[in-house]
């Protein structure tokens, strides 16, 4: 089997940002999109605003209630206020004189430090300066600036279009050119084109680097922004310039955008000697663990005796999906401990007919967050041999919240710990057997070969092993 280079980062340019990641590598939970009237009505009943700054108020409420670390409201209000001035100054450099800015900042002196009245007054003043200024933009500048002020490298503000794409990412259905991408250092690299889709048909290969989109260099911009540039309406076209390191070739392709369906973020096949191989790209899609369990039943019927689960490049996704996958193989004991601001939640195994199927799990430095939850629990309970390289080391959980104006915010709400109450943050999960991937040997996947060797040894040691316990 030909080796697959640096694996998926949770982003499908066809429609998976993220998270995405996206996105920063992350273990994520999604807050249901609230009914706006129910979400904020009780919060602002006694507060009247001439300008609808409900999105700012909602963001403050979410941060105060859920953000893992303490932050004062006056600090958030200050960040929102200054963020509006900063963004307007950047967008309209000639609009505000130094004296204007001094005058605007004096508005804060007229109100308590934690009062949103100062922001409302600032918006009114700016609206009188230039007709093209839109209230909705000023509101989003404020929300974005509050998120950026948090001491949280995983915090992120999503403009409405980005947030819409993010939600599509978790649905597995989208419009795009059909390729998984990864962020490797400062490069956006194709992990895998989806067979039959425009990118695949155009000859795009794993390892190709994206240089430009529609003639615009992507150097220095986020992966989220790259995804936005590539996506668009069905039937429209996008021009992408790539670089192929293997041949030192730069080339450009015009690709048509199509509707892309990703039924699952995993792929199963049977390889030599009745070994089942599962490439689990992401924990991003609700229900994948359940679908996987159904497909595992078919492997049982085919007489598979050992399962290799490949988590290389799987940068995370939904906490719930990592737990659900672990529960397929762990029938008792703690899987992960999640410590939030005001509570601690422990997730444990459940009765499962697959608690004895032999497992080999492959990980690498890009296996992160939700992948590490699964790998760490499997290793702790001696359910598998881990092969590969030490994982990324991300021991935090983020939540995503929708705001009334269609934008969204993400920030850290919890730390998670392995069953022994051990944090893997900045440390990672260390495999039982360290195997490096030799980049010079294109046709050989050393880590997969090592996993297959262990699987064959297991089969040899236990000729009668069955995929289900009790021979069921």
- Tens digits of residue pLDDT in 417-427: 999 888 999 99
Helices (H), 256-318: 288-301
Among 4, 49, 6, which residue's Cα sits nearest to residue 314? 6
- Per-residue pLDDT, 37: 40
Answer yes or no: is 330 within a domain.
yes
Give the span between the Cα atoms of 408 and 217, in whole angstroms.
27
Number of domains making up the chain? 3
Write a three-state SS string for 370-403: HHHHHHHHHHHCCCEEEEECCCCCCCEEEEEEEC
- Per-residue pLDDT, 377: 97
Mean pLDDT of 196-205: 94
Are residues 440 and 313 part of one domain?
yes
Confidence of residue 246 (pLDDT cuts 50, 70, 90): confident
- Per-residue pLDDT, 393: 93
Lowest-confidence region among 146-160, 195-209, 282-296, 351-365: 282-296
Q: For residue 400, which phi and psi values (nearest 5 degrees)?
A: -115, 130
**Pair 151, 142: CB distance under 8 Å:** no
Answer yes or no: is 87 within a domain.
yes
- Per-residue pLDDT, 41: 38
94 half-sphere exposure, CB direction, 13 A CA radius: 0
Are residues 335 and 303 part of one domain?
yes
248, burial (CB in 10 Å: exposed 0-12, middle 13-18, buried 19+) = exposed
Give the span between the Cα atoms of 222 and 160, in whole angstroms.
16
Question: Which CATH number is 192's domain given?
Answer: 2.30.42.10
Are residues 254 and 240 part of one domain?
yes
- Using the 3D structure, point to which of 232, 261, 290 is the last residue of a domain: 261
- Using the 3D structure, point to which of 239, 261, 283 is the last residue of a domain: 261
- Residues contacting residue 335 through CB under 8 Å, at least 6 positions apart: 323, 326, 327, 347, 348, 349, 373, 377, 419
Domain containing residue 98: 32-156
Are residues 79 and 183 part of one domain?
no
Alpha-carbon distances of 252 from 140, 177, 213, 241, 242, rounded to whole Å = 35, 14, 9, 4, 6
- Tens digits of residue pLDDT in 304-353: 999 999 999 888 888 999 999 999 999 999 999 999 999 999 999 999 99
pLDDT tops 60 at residue 378: yes
pLDDT tops 50 at residue 12: no
Task: Take residue 27 and report the two structure tokens written for it.
Answer: 């273990």
Task: Find the angle CA(403)-CA(86)-CA(224) to the nearest 5 degrees.
Answer: 50
Are residues 140 and 118 part of one domain?
yes
- If phi > 0 it is left, if psi is from -120 to 50 it is alpha, else beta; for residue 79 that is alpha
- Tens digits of residue pLDDT in 384-418: 999 999 999 999 999 999 999 999 999 999 999 99
pLDDT tops 90 at residue 451: yes
- Tens digits of residue pLDDT in 60-97: 999 999 999 999 999 999 999 999 999 999 999 999 99
Are residues 192 and 312 part of one domain?
no
Give the span between the Cα atoms of 464 and 172, in whole angstroms.
39
Are residues 461 and 333 part of one domain?
yes
Are residues 307 and 443 part of one domain?
yes
- Per-residue pLDDT, 303: 86
Answer yes or no: is 363 within a domain.
yes
360 or 186: which leads in pLDDT: 360
Answer yes or no: is 13 within a domain.
no
pLDDT tops 70 at residue 150: yes
pLDDT tops 90 at residue 469: no
pLDDT tops 50 at residue 234: yes
32 or 453: which leads in pLDDT: 453
Are residues 147 and 188 part of one domain?
no
Task: Take residue 403 and report the two structure tokens written for it.
Answer: 């705001």
Are residues 430 and 368 part of one domain?
yes
Task: Take residue 143 and report the two structure tokens written for it.
Answer: 């929300």
Are residues 329 and 457 part of one domain?
yes
Alpha-carbon distances of 268 from 187, 307, 354, rounded to whole Å = 29, 10, 16
- Per-residue pLDDT, 181: 82
pLDDT tops 70 at residue 26: no
Give the helix/strand (H/E) hosting 103.
helix 98-105
Are residues 347 and 312 part of one domain?
yes
> Could you give the percent of the chain with pLDDT greater than 70?
85
The strand ranges marked E within 16-79 are 26-30
């Amino acid at each position: 089997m030909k080796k697959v280079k640096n694996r998926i980062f949770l982003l499908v340019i066809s429609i998976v940002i993220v998270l995405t990641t996206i996105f920063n590598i992350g273990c994520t939970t999604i807050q249901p999109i609230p009914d706006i009237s129910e979400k904020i009505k009780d919060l602002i009943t006694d507060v009247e605003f001439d300008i609808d700054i409900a999105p700012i108020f909602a963001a403050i409420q979410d941060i105060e209630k859920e953000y893992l670390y303490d932050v004062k409201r006056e600090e958030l209000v200050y960040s929102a206020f200054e963020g509006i001035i900063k963004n307007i100054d950047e967008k309209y450099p000639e609009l505000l004189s130094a004296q204007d800015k001094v005058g605007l900042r004096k508005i804060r002196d007229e109100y308590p430090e934690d009062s949103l009245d100062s922001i409302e007054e600032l918006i009114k003043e700016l609206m009188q300066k230039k007709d093209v200024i839109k209230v909705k933009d000023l509101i989003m500048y404020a929300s974005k600036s509050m998120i950026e002020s948090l001491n949280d490298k995983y915090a992120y503000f999503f403009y409405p279009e980005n947030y819409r794409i993010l939600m599509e990412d978790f649905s597995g259905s989208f419009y795009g050119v059909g390729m998984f991408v990864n962020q490797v250092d400062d490069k956006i690299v194709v992990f895998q084109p989806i067979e039959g889709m425009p990118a695949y048909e155009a000859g795009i290969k794993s390892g190709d680097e994206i240089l430009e989109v529609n003639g615009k260099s992507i150097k220095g911009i986020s992966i989220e922004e790259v995804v936005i540039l590539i996506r668009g309406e069905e039937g429209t076209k996008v021009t992408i310039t790539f670089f192929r390191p293997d041949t030192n070739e730069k080339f450009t392709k015009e690709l048509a955008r199509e509707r892309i369906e990703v039924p699952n973020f995993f792929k199963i096949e049977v390889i030599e000697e009745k070994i089942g191989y599962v490439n689990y790209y992401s924990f991003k899609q609700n229900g994948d663990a359940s679908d996987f369990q159904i497909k595992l039943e078919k492997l049982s019927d085919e007489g598979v005796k050992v399962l290799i689960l490949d988590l290389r490049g799987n940068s995370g996704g939904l906490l719930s999906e990592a737990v659900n996958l672990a529960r397929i193989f762990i029938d008792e004991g703690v899987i992960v401990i999640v410590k939030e601001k005001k509570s601690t939640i422990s997730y444990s195994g459940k009765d499962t007919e697959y608690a004895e199927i032999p497992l080999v799990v492959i990980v690498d430095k890009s296996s992160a967050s939700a992948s590490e939850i699964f790998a760490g629990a499997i290793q702790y309970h001696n359910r598998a041999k881990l092969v590969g390289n030490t994982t990324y080391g991300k021991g935090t959980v983020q939540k995503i919240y929708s705001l009334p104006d269609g934008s969204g915010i993400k920030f850290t709400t919890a730390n998670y710990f392995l069953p022994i109450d051990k944090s893997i943050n900045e440390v990672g999960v260390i495999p039982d057997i360290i195997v490096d991937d030799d980049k010079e040997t294109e046709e050989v996947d050393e880590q997969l070969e090592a996993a297959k060797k262990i699987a064959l040894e297991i089969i040899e040691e236990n000729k009668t092993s069955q995929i289900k316990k009790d021979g069921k």
